[in-house]
Amino acid sequence: MTALTKSRRAKGSKLQRGEGLAGWLFTSPMLLILGLFLLIPVLMALWVSFSDWSGRGSPLSGSVNFVGLDNYRDVTSGGGLDERNFGISMRNNAWYVVLVVPIQTALSLFLALLVNRSVLRGRGVFRTAFYFPSVTSSVAITVLWLFLFSTSGVINKILSWIGVNGPNWFNDPRGVVHVLLDKIGISGGPEALTSSSFLGISLWEWSSGPSIAMFALILMAIFTTSGTFMLLFLAALQNVGAELDEAGMLDGAGAWRRFWSITLPQLRPTVFTVVTLGLIGTWQVFDQIYTGTQGAPGKTTLTPAFLSYQTAFTGQKWGHGSAIAFILFVIIILLTLFQRWALRERPVPKRKRLRRLKSRTEEGSGA
């Protein structure tokens, strides 16, 4: 034993010297590519967001000037079209996030609970059906969605069966909340909302909700991502101990009660993951807009990601485009940190809860 460890240690020091070199050799392709196509690009774009580069020549050439926070000021408080466009894109995306994240989290958890039953016949088929939309590309699914939600399309056909006159989906810029308010007779905003504004658009405009067109895209996001997140929940459910659930059952807790006080607390880390991934993903809406609506109708499907692209590549305002991209970057990072904080583990109460459950289990099995 001792001889072996000794020789191993001797070899180890020799190996370790080789390992240093090998370690760098093995990671060098990764470092090269991440550095070249991620780190340097981000730094370069950061420079562009502080410069007046117009798209001609290299942004690093001597004729490009440092303009400080001008680009950021233009898009967040300029009072002009740049600010208004940014404000509109932020409103659109905020509504998208608010609706997609909770619904996709709840739906994927619901699907996972449905197909997790071991006695379920054909659960593989159901899992496959729910997961399949996740493997298709966003481009293909958008093409399909444009057809399904066209004016004389499948969705409106189905709606007509139950006597509903479907909207013009991708051509309808009306906000969903405003449409509903209009139904109950409120057609104009109160003075307090119309007179004050944020990012160049009035609070009344902020309250409009997603447009009907954006609503179709919201449904699409839920449709395509719920399968992926269902798999995450399924994996987590495998690790949820059956013991606690059974203890709850012995205590006479109903299925609904057991879900809320036994299963869900154990799924907390996965809920955190799904919500965070959802938040990160939903602030990056680009492919669907590029493929489908290009921001139309009435700019109501404009998102910061697409606006950043359009401003730079089509409008040739590279400084503005980069500034929007970096604002988006900061939003996503901040949201991630906030989520981490909001859903952080609170160790003491949880342990108490567990202890209480455990003592109840012992009582239950003793009785």
* Distance of alpha carbon 178 from alpha carbon 125, whole angstroms: 41
Nearer to other proteins, 52 or 246 (CB): 246
Nearer to other proteins, 1 or 192 (CB): 1
What residues have CB less than 8 Å from 187, skipping those under 6 apart? 181
* Distance of alpha carbon 96 from alpha carbon 4, whole angstroms: 63
Provide the minimum distance between the beta carbon of 284 and other proteins in the complex, in angstroms, as a whole number. Answer: 4
Q: Which of 44, 35, 91, 87 lies closest to 319 in space, CA to CA?
A: 44
Provide the minimum distance between the beta carbon of 212 and other proteins in the complex, in angstroms, as a whole number. Answer: 19
Q: What are the Cα distances from residue 97, in Å, to 101, 209, 279, 339?
A: 6, 11, 7, 14
Q: Are 232 and 225 in contact (CB under 8 A)?
A: no
Provide the minimum distance between the beta carbon of 137 and other proteins in the complex, in angstroms, as a whole number. Answer: 3
Nearer to other proteins, 137 or 194 (CB): 137
Provide the minimum distance between the beta carbon of 107 and other proteins in the complex, in angstroms, as a whole number. Answer: 9
Nearer to other proteins, 180 or 333 (CB): 333
Provide the minimum distance between the beta carbon of 310 and other proteins in the complex, in angstroms, as a whole number. Answer: 10
Q: What are the Cα distances from residue 61, in Å, to 54, 56, 64, 326?
A: 12, 10, 6, 22
Q: Token digits for 236?
A: 């987590």
Nearer to other proteins, 259 or 329 (CB): 329
Q: Judge if the upstream peptide bond of residue 349 is cis by omega within 30 degrees of 0.
A: no
For the packed helices 268-282 and 212-239, what is the interaxial angle rounded to 10 degrees? 150
Provide the minimum distance between the beta carbon of 49 and other proteins in the complex, in angstroms, as a whole number. Answer: 9
Beta strands in the chain (DSSP E): 197-198, 201-202
Nearer to other proteins, 17 or 194 (CB): 17
Nearer to other proteins, 122 or 190 (CB): 122
Provide the minimum distance between the beta carbon of 171 and other proteins in the complex, in angstroms, as a whole number. Answer: 13
How many C-beta atoms lie closer than 10 Å to residue 7's C-beta?
10
